[in-house]
Amino acid sequence: MTTIGFNDPLYILPFDHRGSFQSNMFGWSGTLNSAQTAEIAAAQQIIYHGFKAAESRASRWRRT
């Protein structure tokens, strides 16, 4: 086993799958216009902020 240099869990959030995200979540295909691109970016930010909130709560839970 390789030592990674820290003892906390390492979380990876893979949500940059633009093709499947745009077609499955929004129903869009082909080249996106700037409004669609902005909408996808906003949705990804919501996902990221949700992940950060969950991770923060998990960190507090682990420390107590």
pLDDT at 25 over 80: yes
Residue 16 counted as domain residue: no
Choose between 18 and 41: higher pLDDT: 41
* Tokens 């700037």 sit on residue: 34
Cβ neighbours, 10 Å, residue 26: 13
pLDDT at 33 over 80: yes
Listed range (22-31, 42-51, 55-64) with the worst mean pLDDT = 55-64
Radius of gyration for the chain, computed over Cα atoms and rounded to the nearest angstrom: 16
C-alpha angle 38-53-55 in degrees, rounded to nearest 5: 120
Domain count along the chain = 1
**What residues make up the domain containing 38?**
34-58
Residue 64 counted as domain residue: no
Say whether pTM exceeds 0.75: no
pLDDT at 39 over 90: yes
Mean residue pLDDT across the chain: 79
The dihedral sign for the CA sequence 53, 55, 61, 64: negative
